[in-house]
Each structure stands twice: as structure tokens, then as C-alpha cells.
Amino acid sequence: MKKLLLSVLIISSTIFINKAVAQLSQGGTPFSFTVDSKHLPTIAYQTMPSFDLAALKAEDAVNDLSKGPFRFGFNHYVSLNPANSGTWTTLPNGDRLWQLGIKSPGALTLNLAFDDFYLPKTASLFVYNSTKDFVIGAFTDADNQKDKAFATDLIPGEAIILEYYEPAAVANQGRMNLFRVTHGYRGVEDYATNFTEKSFGQAGSCQVNINCPFGAGWQNEKHAVVCLVSGGSEFCSGALVNDVPQDGKPYILTANHCGSSGFSTWVFRFNWEAPGCTNPGTSPSTSQSLSGGTQLASSANSDFSLVEITGGLAGGTVPASYNPYFAGWSNVDVPADSAWGIHHPSGDIKKISHAANACISGTWSGTPADSHWQIGLWTTACTEPGSSGSPLFDQNHRVVGQLHGGPSACGNTGSNMIDYYGKFSMSWLGGGTNTTQLKVWLDPNNTGATTLNGWGPTMGVSEKPASVSSFSIYPNPSNGEFNMDVNLNSLQNVVIKIFNVVGEVVLQKTISNITSGNYSIDLTNQAKGIYFADVSTTTEHSVKKIVVVE
């Protein structure tokens, strides 16, 4: 170990800024940035072995056609920790500094995962690239998780440094075993020296940035959508979803095929988007990320996965500085009149797509009949690998599914411009157990809610669940003759749509300028069976199941 001299030179004027991804941390500056480097030992690098990049790219060319997770990197598995690698330096006051360099030749990015991570109070960890212009940290005891796992977001370059500062008062208490180093080889063109015609990222040329005028009506919902780094080397998409208690539980809805293990090292990247409509030349500096989660429920039938974020929370929820939005949803099996998707295609910045036509029931990749929504046709943009797990919003801005797959792609036309989303309505009860359904997590008090509005606690959006007390339909069941009582607080128009079980509208009418009254719904010309009454005003929306019997 090298003893640092008391005459060390402090460089107080040096300021280093994280230029791209801001992983939740306590801020500050690595100790080594404040001293003359000649007073510290030369950093010892561990170099990762080469791998068959050509073979990976050939696999990607095939796998990308399935619209699954977007693989961006190759995982090196290691076991590196302060006891077997790196260099320790003891400072004059007894504090200690551990530094370890990691190099993977040719990497566009590197990201790390630990399987035995524990930092004592007052200790700190930074990770930065070799040019010292991209820094994440300080990570502290606030980043400790019960399962001792931790992971970082992507760091640009082929060489990075881990720097751990341990005060003398907590000597030898910290642990961090690095078990995975991911060599990023695509999907992050902002870190490369030469840019393609696509400018930033890998997404197709037809994709539309969320902050284009086309996305103006979706500026709340965009804050729900995240880019997921799963398994260390794959990108998927997902979304924060609201629960009926509206208590800020950090639940992420994504696709089951985005991963079945390793959730404690998943990284959830928020607000990664262009500031305007034009593609930027480098990665936007607005993004923020959290690390660590646990899967609560999943089902292959509707390809859903509900994951709770566990790392880096503030008061048990996503930090207010992230401007989180918890998306609303509908668990009613009624097709959307039109559909919108917000997603991260090919691991790129946030995009928006639109299908200006109704969804229909369908199936995808061997799933049960009517388990998915097939969007009619994308009329603006589409999805790509990496969009998997992203939310499908209906015309009421509520999530009705998450992306499973489909043939759409920039340049495709006609019947190929479709995709399939696992139905939220099927996922609601799922397999009937806590680990195979959404209901027990999103409606824990069993209120029977069928729809829920979105909620943005830091954005002035605080929409409680839409009241259903203003409308009552009876008798139910009936022979087809129903009465509807209406009791509103103000003069409004009431729109009534009746859907059959396959999503066809069998009755639609508008009652103009009313506050209260009793109105008839006549389904005597319809076959016996289950129907859904969709009743909406400018301030309320309710869907009720009604039954026609003989």
C-alpha cells in the first residue's frame, strides 16, 4: 500500500459533470479528482477477454425480427473485489482509498453488477470513465439492498475506474464483489466517434420523439415510461402503473419475456428523451435511473410482468426529482377506439406511436385466444426490439396492455404494420394467484375498481379514481331493458357505448346538457349474454358489466 504524503496538492477548481445518465446518488467528487495524481498509485486494470462479436451480430440480425429485448452488450462474468484486485492507498488520517480499473477493448459502454454489495455509513463509491468526464456516484449505504445486489447504468468508453473511499472509523466493513461486466457493442451511438445518418441511437427513421408536437397530449404519461436494462445486456421498456390506494408504490409493468431472473440488478432509466423534436447528436442529459427490483407477479399467457423497484427510493417511492407519473389503467375487456404507444425502440430515446383505429382481440406466439390486443394498424411510427413491455394506452390515456411482439417496422406497409399487446384485462386476474395476477397488487383492498386514472404527485396531476357513483344501471341482469340513473355535479353531455364481448359497439347514444335523470337502455334486440356499458362525461368515466338474460 502506498502512503499518501501530507503535502498532497488539492485541486479545488476542478469540476466534473455527469454528461448523460444520472444514476441516483449522493453527488460529490471522487477523492482522486481533488489531488495531484502523482501522489496516488498507478491504477491497475483488469482487461476483459475478447469474444466473437461477429457471431453476436449475426444472432442479433435474427433475434431482432422477433421484437424481443434489444441486446446491446456481451456479459463477462468475473469475481473482482477489494480483497483480490485493485490497489489500496492509506491516507494520512487513516482513511483508505481503493481503486480498480476495468477495460474491455472496443466497448462503446461498460456497465457493472455486484452480488455482494454493502457500504457502511460514511463510505462512498464512484464509477467513472478513463477520461474523467462521466461520473456516477457517490453511492452510499442508501444503495444497500437486502439481497446485497447492486448494478450501474451504462458508462461510456472501453475503460472505467471504480473508486471506493472508506473512512478509518468503518475500516474493513465495506464489501463489493463485482460479478458481471457488460461490454456494450451497439445501441449507444452517442458514445461512438462516428455518427450514422440516424444521428442518435438505433431506432428507425420513422420513429417520432416524445417531445415532438405529435406527443403534446402525452406529456404526463411520458414520465411513466422507462427504459429497462435487464440481464445486464438487454434493453426493454416498461411503465410505472398506479394502484387504487394511490400510495406511490413503484410498480413497473413490463413484458414477461423481458426477463425471468436477476431483477435485483435491473436498472430503470427515467426521462431519457430528446428535449425537442429533433434527434440530438449525443445522449440527452435529462435521464435518471434507479437500480434494483423484485418481481411480484407474471404470466406467459398475457406476457406480463409486474416488478417493484427496490433500490434508490425516497420515502418508499420514486424520488420526486424524477417527476414520476403513475399511469392509469383499465381492466375492462373492451377494445380501444384508438391506441398510443410510448417506448424505447432499439434501446433508443423515448418515442411515441399511434394507431388511429380500433384494437381487436387476438393472440400472439402461442398464447390463448383473445389474450392480446392487436392494434388496427400503426398510422404514425411503430415499435421495434427494445419496445417490448411498453404500455399501450387507450383513448382515455389508460394502459390496456404491454407489448409482446409483432411484425411492424419502419418501411413496412399494409398488414405488416400491426403489433400485439398482452391484455391488461387478462393480466388482472391472471392465473388466480398472487404471483400470476395484477389485481392483488393494484387493488389490494379489493374495491372492485375497473378503471383508474393516472397520478403525478410532483406534476400537479392528482387524479383520484373516477367516481362510479354518478351512474347506476339496473336491473342487472335483465331481459334487455335497463334503466340508468344519472346524478352529476354540473351540466354535461353523457356518452353511452354498449360493447359485446368481442368488442363490437351494439348501441351508442349521447344525452346532451343534463345534470340528473333516468334514462333507458334497450338491448332487447341483442342476444343474451355479457355486455359492457361504457359511460363517460368530461369529468368522469365508468365501465360496468351488464347481463342480458331470457
Give the catalytic positions in this structure.
257, 303, 388
Phi, psi of 322 (to 5 degrees): -85, -10
Cell numbers standing for residue 100: 480498480
The DSSP letter of residue 44 is P
Tell me whether residue 142 is exposed, middle or buried, using C-beta atoms within 10 angstroms of its C-beta: 0 to 12, 13 to 18, 19 or more: middle
Q: Where in 155-202 does DSSP place strands (E)?
A: 155-156, 159-166, 175-184
Please compute Rg for the chain using Cα positions. 26
For residue 315, how many C-alpha atoms fall within 13 Å in the half-sphere facing its CB?
5
Distance separating alpha carbons of residues 193 and 534, to the nearest angstrom: 54
- 214 Cβ contact list (under 8 Å, min separation 6): 208, 352, 354, 380
Tell me whether residue 217 is exposed, middle or buried, using C-beta atoms within 10 angstroms of its C-beta: 0 to 12, 13 to 18, 19 or more: exposed
Distance separating alpha carbons of residues 535 and 545, to the nearest angstrom: 11
Which residue has cell 431519457? 272
Q: 3-class SS at 254?
A: strand
Phi, psi of 372 (to 5 degrees): -130, 155
Which among 137, 199, 184 has a CA at the least distance from the CA of 163? Answer: 137
